Amino acid sequence: MENRQLVIIGAGPAGLTAAIYARRAGVDVLLLEYGLSGGQINSTSEIENYPGFKRASGLSLGQAFREHAESFGAEFRDCSVNSAIFDVSSHGDKIIRTNQGDISADALIIASGSTFSRVGCKGEQEFKGRGVSYCAVCDGVFYEGAPVAVIGGGNSAVEEADYLTRFASKVYIIHRREEFRAERILIERVLSNPKIEPVLGYVVDEIAGENMAERVVARNLKSGDVRTIPVEGIFVFVGIKPNVDFLKDDKNIRRAGPGWIVTDEKMETSVEGVFAAGDVRDKFLRQVVTAAGDGAVAAMAAYEYLSNQYYLKDTLFTPKRAYAFFMSSINPAHLALASELEAWQKTANISIVVVDVHRNLRIKDKLGINELPVMVEMASGEKHRECIVSSIGDIRDFITIKSC
């Protein structure tokens, strides 16, 4: 089976930024993509809120990201990921199954993004990027002084409709039910806004126009009456879901809502060595700039993880016999004992690995260590014995007298 240091699933802004940062740190990177690099930004005609680019097309920005990653030597592979399997034991194997074979990764970054749910009406796909949008923050500014429509009735639709009143002359909210599904306070806010007109009990049958979208054709579900609404922009908010089908059989990665991956501030998931970045995360704002930021953090966290794992493998798990002192760097007494240990090692001519569990918390769980500070003797990669210590004398006795 092919083994790689770092595998990144997804070649959107998060995955491409992660590839750039990881390669600059000297990590071997394999980036798995399906289709065109850039992710959802490829369907965005213009981007005006990415720092350093006053205006850029989604396609050009996505291509620039890819070329940047390629310039540092990141390897790309066009394939589909079928599943990911994580061994949460001390071995920590991460297997990615693709239509081109299985890959074993020492670390993994999931940057597979998300997908907006579609209305499914006539003209939606045709006018995508030419009047049809799925992001008010991205595209609202392009409709200054123009009428627009929002399709949907949940919190996102209502919030984005309120946001669009900053630019649009009028905002129609078209919802198939007779009342909104959003929170009451949000509903009251939009109903009190003179720029917003609810169109309840209607479904959108067609989005029409010439070169750009010009109108929405909506039908009342009860009466069958058809209403044509002239608008220049149509914003669809009928749902969004993370692209995590390949995790359907996984029970280890913690997720929220419809499957958003939960991470800590270092983008690490509940599985050691597996990170997530970008729109697939459970997060507040999904934008190109936040995805790129996630990717940078995930890459450097993965680099730190890999460095620690390789060090521990070489010093603790590979030798036939090894000694380790487990402590916490946020405990002054532990730090003082670690300093004494460093000085004693030089005179005793013995090698003892110092493991800071504050930075390597999961190795403590792997080895079943419950109290600190503790000395551990490893034998051929397995814990042979351990002893709670409080002085250099305790450490010396553990090694020389083989007692606790």
> Any idea where the domains of the chain sit in the sequence?
2-114+240-312, 132-236, 319-401
- The rounded mean pLDDT for the chain is 93
Q: What fold, for 2-114+240-312?
A: FAD/NAD(P)-binding domain (3.50.50)
> Cα dist. 23→60, 69, 154, 259 in Å?
22, 8, 41, 29
What is this structure's pTM?
A: 0.81
Domains 132-236 and 319-401 share a fold: no
What confidence score (pLDDT) does residue 324 get?
A: 96
The vertex-200 CA angle with 194 and 203, nearest 5°, equals 125
CATH-assigned architecture of domain 319-401:
3-Layer(aba) Sandwich (3.40)
For residue 366, name the pLDDT band (cuts at 50, 70, 90). confident
Model pLDDT, residue 90: 57
Helices (H), 11-143: 13-24, 58-71, 136-139
Three-state SS for 119?
Answer: coil
Residue positions annotated with a catalytic role: 135, 138-139
- Asked whether the predicted pLDDT for residue 320 surpasses 90, the reply is yes
| Average pLDDT rounded to a whole number, residues 372-393 | 95
CATH class for the domain made up of 132-236:
alpha beta
